[in-house]
């Protein structure tokens, strides 16, 4: 079935550092890909999305490119802020399938 794999473990980095969170997926069709963010005490929010190969999703300085050849959708930000501290989830929705399949999430802690 469809699945998403995120890199293991929390990510701790200093303010203004470069952030990368790896995400790979397995899908039988041509999925749409998403990154959701969960700030402390809040619900899941859509951060960015991409619907087809080579699409780049971007929002709030974050970017991710849909790479069909490597089945990946890595999240990047060039200069993180303390306010970016949150849990980040990669997810996919396959064509004709109405459910989202999520990865386990990565806790990101940005230290001043």
- Which stretches of the chain bind other proteins, using CB under 8 A? 4, 32, 34, 36, 42-46, 49, 51, 89, 91, 93, 98-105
- Residue 33 beta carbon to other proteins: minimum distance, rounded to whole angstroms: 11
Name which of 11 and 44 has its Cβ closer to other proteins: 44
- Residue 55 beta carbon to other proteins: minimum distance, rounded to whole angstroms: 11
User: How are beta strands 11-14 and 106-111 bridged, if at all?
Assistant: parallel
- Using CA atoms, how far residue 24 sits from 41, 53, 112, in Å, is 27, 14, 30
- Residue 17 beta carbon to other proteins: minimum distance, rounded to whole angstroms: 24
Name which of 49 and 74 has its Cβ closer to other proteins: 49
Of the candidates 59, 53, 1, 7, the one whose C-alpha atom is nearest the C-alpha of residue 30 is 53
> Quick one: tokens of 58?
């971007």
């Amino acid at each position: 079935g469809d699945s998403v794999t995120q890199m293991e473990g929390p990510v701790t980095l200093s303010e203004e550092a470069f952030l990368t969170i790896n995400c790979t997926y397995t899908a039988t069709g041509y999925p749409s890909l998403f990154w959701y963010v969960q700030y402390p005490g809040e619900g899941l929010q859509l951060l960015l999305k991409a619907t087809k190969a080579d699409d780049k999703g971007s929002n709030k300085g974050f970017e991710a490119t849909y790479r069909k050849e490597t089945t990946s959708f890595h999240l990047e930000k060039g200069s993180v802020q303390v306010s970016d501290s949150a849990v980040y989830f990669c997810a996919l929705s396959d064509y004709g399938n109405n459910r989202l399949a999520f990865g386990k999430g990565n806790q990101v802690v940005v230290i001043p």
